[in-house]
Each structure stands twice: as C-alpha cells, then as structure tokens.
Amino acid sequence: MTASETDPTGTSNAHTTRKRVIALSIWAVGFVAWWVLLGLPLTDPLLAFGWLWLATIAVRIDQPRRVHLRFARDWLPIALLLVLYNFSRGLADQGRTPHAIELIQADRFLFDGHVPTVWLQQHFYDPDGIHWWDVVASWVYFSHFVVALAVAVVLWLRNRPRWAAFMRRWFALSILGLITYFAYPAAPPWWAARYGLLPEVARISTRGWQAIGLHGAGNVLNAGQIAANPVAAMPSLHTAFALFVVVFFFGRVRRRWWPLLLTYPLAMTFTLVYTGEHYMIDVLVGWVYVGLAFGLCSLAERWWRTRSTAAAEPGAAAEPGTAAEPGAAAEPVSASRAARDTSANSPANP
C-alpha cells in the first residue's frame, strides 16, 4: 500500500496549501507593485472589487467556479452602490457656500478658545521637514481605505451572516453621512484657512509618503482628495468608520482589550485634526452617527426577527381540517427548531 493511499487527505491538504501560498504570493506581489507604482487601488470601488475578488480566489483556490462567483453576487452591488455614493457625495454642496464659521466657533467653545487644528500645526508641523509623526499620520489616514474593507472580506469568508450585519451598518452610516452632506455642506480647516477664516493651516495628510518613497501612493490619494467634494467635512466619516470597525467587535472581545482597540479611532482623530482635514466637532458628530447607525440597524433587525417569528407560528399549528385527538396536546416546537427557523428567515445579529 502506497503512502498516498494510507494518507490521501494529508497529501491533498498539502497540495492545496502549496497552491494557496503560490496564489496569495502572486496576488501580494501584484498588489504591492500596483500600490507603489500607481497608488492604492482600494480608493476606487471598482478597482477594490476586482482586487478583493482576486484575493478571495487565491484564498479559496481549491474551490469550484460557482463558489468564486458568489463574491460577484454579493459584492458587485456593493461596489456599484459605493460608486453612486461617491458621485452623490461630490454633488452635495450644489454650489452653496459651505458652513465654516459655526464649526470654528464650536471648536473654540470646546477647547477654551483654541482651534485644535491650528494649535497642533503650530506645535508639530514643520514645513521644512517630515518627522516620524507625519509618516505615522499618513499611514493612519491611509488605513481608512483598507481596514473596513479588509474586515468585511474576512467576515464574508468566515461568517456570512456577520458580514451582512457589518454591511448593513456600513451603509446606514454612509447614508446618514450623505444626508448630512446635502443638508449641511461644511468646509474643513484647510479650506477655512485658504479663505482667511483661520490662521494658516496646511493640508498634510499624505506628505508622510515622501519620507518612505511611496510617491505613487501619495499621488493617488492626493488626486482622490482633489476629485472629492471639499465641503463634505461634517460629519467625519473617516473617524466614524474607525470607531465603527472597533465597536462592531465589542461584543466578541473582552472588555480589558477595549482600550487597546480604541487607540485606532483615537489615532485617526489626531491624524484628521492635525493634518487639517477635520475639526473636532466633525469627529464628535461622526461618533454620534456610529451610535445612530448601530441603533437603527438593531431596531430594524429586531423588528424583522419578530415579524419572521410571527409569520412562522401558524406553521406550527395543525393543518386546516385536521382534528386533534381529544385530550392530545399540541406538539411543542423545540428551541433548536425555532432557532433554525428564525436564522433561516431573518438577518443575523452583529
């Protein structure tokens, strides 16, 4: 008897692992090359869709084609919605004069007469040199385009109901932000400084790339900033999504790790305020919107579960026209069966 006959499963697993490692290596080399030469592809929804699909194919290299097509089924509508969201966000100002003075006054009220962006740049920004904190700030700013998408893909691969709950909250938060962009177009600190409403404020969120030679990454992010609506500053969805990703996992992580997780949204807050992208009031409103998005989705999911359970109850009764035997009790529905019925007909909890 040959070795492959004695342990066919082990040989098959080793072969699959080698194929997966090769596929992931090819994907990683291609992704990094694109990033260094052309910039981060994840800043464009359709490019992000393509690269993430290739990543899932590499991870599931041993699966049949129909499995890989599920990604297109689940993610292409999301990519198209993100394209529409970006386009709508760019139209939010509709030629109106953006709000700026109220935001400056709010920050001065909160910080004893100081605007945090102005104070931070006066103490840390050096126009003649790039320091380590500028590099860290650029990395943190860049992470906005990676972290939430990466978490979503991992959830899609490992737990599709959790992925669906994550994406519901993602879109709820985005819609709340988009509504506010239309209702209250607001300008960031660098814009206010350009028009004389603040002392000099530089827009420096991508300057750290120069220190590590990733000029392509910085150029693409700069181009994205130019193309984006410059008066969509309220709320700060950059900081909102940083908090959103962390809060989503609070129920699965021990509380002693919460302070460590919260360093990410706090780092994003420092980055956005220091680099001239947002006021602190933008950040605080973004955090409130995270709570609203989670609350609204939880209420909707609870309503859906109640509705599904009520719709399933008649099925447990006897069929019309079938008389029960005298004295016979109705067969109870087991808890496990009820749980299966509910999970099959309702969205999952986060």
Examine the pLDDT at 176 and tell me if it is beyond 50. yes
Q: What are the pLDDT digits (tens) for 231-245?
A: 678 889 899 999 999
Contacts with 297 (C-beta within 8 Å, 6 or more apart), sequence order: 165, 168, 169, 172, 350
Tokens of 180: 């506010």
Model pLDDT, residue 10:
60
Q: Do the Cβ atoms of 53 and 75 come closer than 8 Å?
A: yes
N-term to C-term CA, the chain: 50
Q: Are 166 and 155 in contact (CB under 8 A)?
A: yes
CA dihedral 139, 289, 154, 33 (to 10 degrees): -30
Q: Which two tokens stand for residue 305?
A: 């579960």
Distance set, CA 3 to CA 9, 10, 16, 17 (Å): 11, 10, 17, 19
In this structure, are residues 100 and 186 in contact, taking their beta carbons and an 8 Å threshold? yes
* 298, two tokens: 């939880």
CA distances, 257 to each of 146, 157, 159, 294, 349 (Å): 22, 25, 22, 21, 22
Q: What is the pLDDT of residues 71-125, one digit of tens each?
A: 888 888 888 877 777 776 666 556 667 888 999 999 999 999 999 999 999 999 9
Indicate the DSSP class of residue 256.
G
What pLDDT band is residue 230 in, cutting at 50, 70 and 90? low
Query: 89 with 181: CB under 8 angstroms?
Result: yes
DSSP label at 199? S
Question: What would the mean pLDDT of 23-39 be, rounded to a whole number?
Answer: 82
Q: What integer pLDDT is reported at residue 343 of this predicted model?
A: 43
Global pTM exceeds 0.85: no
